[in-house]
């Protein structure tokens, strides 16, 4: 299976996928990353892709006259790589209807909270501020909402009294990276069905 991965930041989730595929081989893993895209330049996620010798692309909202034109351009660029699965690994933009019409049902996102709790761009901070005792991460299919698509897998992380946002986020990311690697490999190797809100992996 062909993967395109979208990033906006440090790219440690991307790195976890790259490391796993390098360790076991694309054949055994069931997928290979064919390109990495971002919504901004000069991020470690792109540097990680370049170090792995992968094609990269950047599509910035401000370079387009409208959000829809950005969405269409992103969809077109991703399509050119003929992905079977698109993975948002810390991609911090909400895609639009053109992107979803092409990739809905095969676009996976990872979120650093236990959805439906704490969706959006500050899930770690919100869980901490709320006083949650456990939080975690969620791998889900992207639908037309914000972090609202069918859940594939979740991992639980305890919140510690001394946690600040970055300490808690780092601990979540340790679980999140393993969950993403496991889930992407499973759905690449064995296929899946989405029945309403339920995801069934064969
Ligand atoms: C991840 O925790 C992701 O869930 C969130 O941002 C973080 C990205 O981390 N949206 P990285 O860029 O993969 O290191």
The pLDDT, as a whole number, for residue 202 is: 84
Is the CB of residue 110 below 6 angstroms from any atom belonging to ligand 1? yes
Question: How far, in Å, are 21, 33, 180, 197 from residue 26 at the CA level?
Answer: 5, 9, 16, 30
Strands (DSSP E) found in the chain: 2-7, 32-38, 56-58, 85-88, 107-111, 134-141, 151-158, 192-195, 198-201
Q: Residue 137's Cα: distance from chain center in Å?
A: 11
The pLDDT, as a whole number, for residue 178 is: 97
Q: Whose CA is nearest to atom 3 of ligand 1?
A: 90
What one-character DSSP code corresponds to residue 25? -
- For tokens 């351009």, the residue is 73
The pLDDT, as a whole number, for residue 51 is: 98
What pairs with residue 86 in β-bridges?
Answer: 4, 107
Q: What are the φ/ψ torsions at residue 2 (nearest 5 degrees)? A: -100, 125
State in Å: Cα 13 to ligand 1 middle: 7
Ligand 1, atom nearest to 177 Cα = 13
Which distant-in-sequence residues (6+ apart) come within 8 Å of 162 by Cβ? none
State in Å: Cα 171 to ligand 1 middle: 12
Question: How far, in Å, are 83, 158, 162 from residue 131 at the CA level?
Answer: 40, 11, 12
The pLDDT, as a whole number, for residue 191 is: 87
What ipTM was reported for this prediction?
A: 0.91
State in Å: Cα 11 to ligand 1 middle: 7
Each residue's pLDDT, cut to its tens digit, for the chain (202 residues) gives 999 999 999 999 999 999 999 999 999 999 999 999 999 999 999 999 999 999 999 999 999 999 999 999 999 999 999 999 999 999 999 999 999 999 999 999 999 999 999 999 999 999 999 999 999 999 999 999 999 999 999 999 999 999 999 999 999 999 999 999 999 999 999 989 999 999 999 8
Known catalytic membership, residue 169:
no
What pairs with residue 36 in β-bridges?
Answer: 5, 56
Say which of 111, 122, 140, 169 is annotated catalytic. 111
The pLDDT, as a whole number, for residue 164 is: 98
């Amino acid at each position: 299976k062909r993967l395109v991965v979208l990033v906006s930041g440090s790219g440690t989730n991307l790195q976890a996928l790259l490391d796993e595929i390098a360790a076991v081989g694309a054949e055994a893993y069931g997928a290979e990353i064919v390109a990495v895209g971002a919504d901004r330049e000069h991020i470690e996620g792109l540097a990680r892709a370049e170090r792995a010798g992968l094609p990269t692309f950047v599509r910035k909202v401000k370079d387009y006259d409208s959000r829809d034109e950005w969405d269409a351009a992103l969809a077109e660029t991703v399509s050119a790589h003929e992905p079977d699965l698109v993975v948002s690994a810390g991609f911090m933009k909400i895609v639009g209807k053109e992107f979803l019409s092409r990739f809905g049902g095969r676009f996976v996102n990872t979120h650093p909270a236990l959805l439906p709790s704490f969706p959006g761009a500050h899930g770690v901070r919100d869980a901490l501020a709320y006083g949650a005792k456990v939080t975690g991460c969620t791998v889900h299919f992207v639908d037309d909402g914000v972090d609202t698509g069918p859940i594939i897998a979740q991992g639980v992380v305890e919140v510690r009294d001394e946690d600040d946002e970055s300490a808690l986020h780092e601990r979540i990311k340790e679980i999140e990276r393993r969950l993403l690697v496991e889930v992407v490999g499973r759905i690449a190797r064995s296929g899946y069905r989405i029945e309403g809100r339920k995801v069934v992996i064969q």
